Amino acid sequence: MDNKELIAFVAKASTKQQTELTGSHTLLFEDRMVFAYNNIIGIRAHIEYDIQGSVPADKFNQLIQKIEGETLKIQDTSEKLVIRYGKHSASLRKESKGLEMYKPIVFPVEYDLHPFPSDMLEGLSIMRFQNHKNKLSGVFIDCDAMYMINSKDIAVFTPSTSFDESFWIPREGVELLLNLPESKITGYSLSNSFLYVFTVDFDLALKLKIASQYKLDTIKKILSDKTDFSHYIEVPMGIEETLNRIQISTIKDSLQHMIFDMKVGEELTISSTGTRDTIVEYLPYVSRGVSEQEWIVPIDAFLTLLKSTKEGRVFVLDSKEGVFLASHSMNMSYFMKVTVKE
């Protein structure tokens, strides 16, 4: 990553405005390092700029990103930065080094380094599709299993390597991990209530939530009777085109996601719902052990569910908590709760 890319990435750990955490809206430069922390995530990176002190993160990042094709010359004084590019210049006034007090807490000197599970990011990306950002609380890792949940759906992924500890990564940390630039991850460490992820370009510090507050017992209770994967439907390939047409005449649910009706019978009946204009299509399909039922299903979640299935096979689990559509493989299970239509 070049300097411009590094500044943009580190700025993700800053805030737009000052918060109760002094300096959260700034970038702290020291000894060719740049550091940001917002009380949830911290990032530090090696930088070529020879700067000492704190500057407003948003202004500095925006200015650097908007300068194209010019070699930067930065004059650093005790009170301000003067940035020269070609015949032009800009100055930013420095602020108090509010982040200095947090540096040794967020990024200590020593770490117990471990190899990063090679498939963790893949697992997170697969799991995230069924969780909407405004409902996602984060990912709970219980040694050798990862759990992601929202108000209706649960995903469980088993990484190739166990963490041997239980911890809870908040939503912001999950989003940051899933948007990592293509830098080589060199390892991770768990200490001081942080998950540290180290790469060749920068280091991440993700502040962990208290593991005991995560309702893992509740989740395991919900999953306890979802082990029978003998009942399923094999959805025909043409269903994507059908759902694309259905969206012309259907409504959104309370989470603002387009929904459709799916009826399992002699044929698979797909129809729009809740509007005066109705589109109904009938598709041939294969069913095993699934009785005639009708459900209300979110279109986006269903389509992504299909992408994680083999041969379009969607498992149907009827439990005391309701009806779930599921995909299932050796290391990944996803349970999407649907509304049974009376």
Residues 100 and 158 in one domain: no
Residues 296 and 335 in one domain: yes
Q: Is residue 38 in a domain? A: yes
Q: Is residue 36 in a domain? A: yes
Question: Which pLDDT value is given to residue 54?
Answer: 93
Q: Which of 149-153, 255-259, 285-289, 338-342 has the highest mean pLDDT?
A: 285-289
**Could you give the number of structural domains in the chain?**
3
> Of the candidates 82, 106, 130, which is a domain's last residue?
106
Question: Which pLDDT value is given to residue 70?
Answer: 67
The residues facing 197 across adjacent strands are: 188, 204
Smallest Cα–Cα separation from 214: which of 121, 286, 122, 145?
145
> Of the candidates 57, 83, 106, which is a domain's last residue?
106
> Of the candidates 83, 106, 129, which is a domain's last residue?
106
Residues 213 and 279 in one domain: no
89, exposed or middle or buried, with CB in 10 Å at 0-12, 13-18, 19+?
exposed
Angle between helices 120-128 and 171-178 (to 10 degrees): 110
* CA–CA separation, 239 and 245 (whole Å): 10
pTM confidence score: 0.79
pLDDT in tens, 234-251: 988 889 999 999 999 999
Question: Which pLDDT value is given to residue 62?
Answer: 92
Supply 215's token pair.
């309702």
Residues 130 and 90 in one domain: no
81-85, 297-301, 305-309: segment of lowest average pLDDT = 305-309
Residues 9 and 102 in one domain: yes
Question: What does the longest C-alpha to C-alpha distance in the chain come to?
Answer: 78
30 lies in which domain range?
3-106
| Average pLDDT, rounded, for the chain | 86
Residues 10 and 89 in one domain: yes
Q: Is residue 190 in a domain? A: no
Q: Is residue 192 in a domain? A: no
pLDDT in tens, 150-168: 766 788 888 888 888 889 9
* CATH number for 292: 3.10.150.10
Higher-confidence residue of 205 and 308: namely 205
Q: Mean pLDDT throughout 262-280? A: 91
